[in-house]
A and B are shown apart, each in its own frame.
Chain A
Amino acid sequence: MSAPDAAPAAVAGARKPGLPDARTLHTRYLLSLGDDALIYAQRLGEWLTHAPQIEEDMALGNVGLDLLGQARSLLTRAGEVEDAHPRRDEDALAMLRDEREFRNVHLVERPRGDFGQEMARMLWFASYQYELYTALLGSADATLAGVAQKAVKEVAYHRDHATQWVLRLGDGTPESHARVQAGLEAVHPYVQELGEDFDAARWASEQGVGVLPSSLAASVNAYVGEVLEGATLVMPDEPRWHARGGREGVHSGAMGLLLAELQHIARSHPGATW
C-alpha cells in the first residue's frame, strides 16, 4: 500500500487484526450462551432416577428443561444471525456440531458428582445466569432481550432451588456440611471462567447486544458469598489453576462422552422424527 499511514486509519475502531467479522462474533456470542444452557441441561437430565427423592428428580428435570428451552431459542437465533447456506437450525447446531465448535464453559460439562456438588455447581451457574439475563433485558438484539425476559424468571427459581439446598446441606448434619463444602471446593477451579471476557463478548458489549462477563462477577460473588455465610460454609481459597478455553472450543475429556450421548441418535438416524 502506498500510503502506510492511511491504512490504520481505515480500520480505526476495528478490533485487533485477524478478528472475525461482526456476524461471526454475534453468532459466537449467542452460541456461548446457548451452549452453556444446552450442555448443563444434558448434565441435569442425568439426575433423573438418581436424585435423593423422586421429588428432586422432578425438580432437577424441570431446571434442565428450562435450560433446554433457553438453548433452543438461543441456538435458533444464532442460526439466523449466522445465516449460513443452508441455514443451520437449532437441531443442526445442537446435534451436528463437533466438540471444538461448542463454546460452553467447562463448569457445565463437568461429570456429575454427588448431590452436594451439583447444588454447588447450580448455585454458581444460576447466580451467573441470573445476572447475565438481567443485564440482557436491554439487549440491542430484540430476540435476545426477549429470551432474557422469559429466562430471568426461570433462573431466579434455579438460583433459589440451589440456595435452599446449600443452606440446608451446609447447616445440616456434619456429613451434609462436609459434602457440600467438598462440592464447593471441587467446582471452584471452574467458576472463574464464567466471569472471563472473550472476543465475542467484547464485541457484543460494545454493540449493546451483550454484556461483559467480567462485569457480572462482583454481583455473582456477592450473592454466592452471602448464601455460603448463611449456610455456615466457607468460600474456597483462590484455586491454584482454573479452567479456561471453553469459549474457544477447547474442552475436557468429559465433553466428548456427553456429546456422544446427546448426538448419537440424531447422527445415526438423520432427520428421524416420531
Chain B
Amino acid sequence: MSETSWPLFEVFVRPKRGLSHVHAGSLHAPDAQMALRNGRDLYTRRQEGVSIWVVASEDITASSPDERDSFFDPAADKVYRHPTFYEVPEDVEYL
C-alpha cells in the first residue's frame, strides 16, 4: 500500500471542558471514522484531550500566504479595535 493512498485529515483536540478545539496536527486514514481513532492514538496518548474533531484536509479552504498583506496588515493600526480601555478582573482566567 503506497504512502499516498489514504486521504489526509486535520485533527482538532479539545484539551478540557470550556476550552475550544485546537488544531493538533494531521494524519492519514482510510475514512473519517478511522481518522478519529488514529487521532485518539496519535494525539491523546498522554491525556491531552476530552474531545476530538477530524476534518478532511481537502475540505478546508485556507488563506494563501500571497494574500497576507491584504488580509492582515490593514488591522495593524486600528488600535480602537482592541478592548484595551477596559479593566480585566484578575480572576477571569481565559480571556
Q: With A and B bound together, what is the CA distance between A168 and B31 in angstroms? A: 10
Query: Contacts A164-B33, A164-B34: A58 and B6 contacting too (C-beta < 8 A)?
Result: no
Query: Contacts A62-B45, A164-B33: A52 and B1 contacting too (C-beta < 8 A)?
Result: yes
Mostly, the A contact residues are helix
* Closest beta carbon of chain A to B10's beta carbon, Å: 14
Q: Are A55 and B42 interface neighbours, CB within 8 A?
A: yes
Query: Contacts A58-B42, A62-B45: A53 and B3 contacting too (C-beta < 8 A)?
Result: yes
Q: Are B33 and A55 interface neighbours, CB within 8 A?
A: no
Q: Are A59 and B30 interface neighbours, CB within 8 A?
A: no
Interchain CB contact (< 8 A) of B41 among A52, A55, A164, A168: A55
Q: Are B41 and A59 interface neighbours, CB within 8 A?
A: yes
> What is the number of residues of chain B that contact chain A, defined by CB distance less than 8 Å?
15
Q: Are B28 and A55 interface neighbours, CB within 8 A?
A: yes
Residue among B37, B41, B42 with the highest chain A CB neighbour number at 10 A:
B41
In the complex, which residues of chain B have a beta carbon less than 8 angstroms from the beta carbon of A53?
Answer: 1, 3, 6, 28
B51 at the interface (CB under 8 A from A): no
* Closest beta carbon of chain A to B1's beta carbon, Å: 5
Q: With A and B bound together, what is the CA distance between A55 and B27 in angstroms? A: 7
User: Chain A contact residues (Cβ within 8 angstroms of B): what range?
Assistant: 10 to 19
A202 at the interface (CB under 8 A from B): no
Residue among A53, A160, A161, A168 with the highest chain B CB neighbour number at 10 A:
A53
Q: With A and B bound together, what is the CA distance between A161 and B29 in angstroms? A: 13
**Per-residue interface assignment for chain B, residues 69 to 90, with 1 indicating a CB less than 8 Å from any chain A CB and 0 otherwise:** 0000000000000000000000
**Per-residue interface assignment for chain A, residues 130 to 167, with 1 indicating a CB less than 8 Å from any chain B CB and 0 otherwise:** 00000000000000000000000000000011001000
In the complex, which residues of chain A have a beta carbon less than 8 angstroms from the beta carbon of B27?
Answer: 55
Q: Which of B4-61 contact A (CB under 8 A)?
A: 6, 27-31, 33-34, 37-38, 41-42, 45
Where the two chains meet, the residues of A that have a C-beta atom closer than 8 Å to any C-beta of B are 52-56, 58-59, 62, 160-161, 164, 168
Where the two chains meet, the residues of B that have a C-beta atom closer than 8 Å to any C-beta of A are 1, 3, 6, 27-31, 33-34, 37-38, 41-42, 45
Please provide the 7 A-B residue pairs with the shortest distance between their CB atoms, ordered closest to farther: A55-B38, A52-B1, A59-B41, A58-B41, A62-B41, A55-B27, A53-B28
Q: List 15 A-B contacts (CB under 8 A).
A: A52-B1, A53-B1, A54-B28, A55-B28, A55-B41, A56-B38, A59-B38, A59-B41, A62-B41, A62-B45, A160-B37, A161-B37, A164-B34, A164-B37, A168-B34
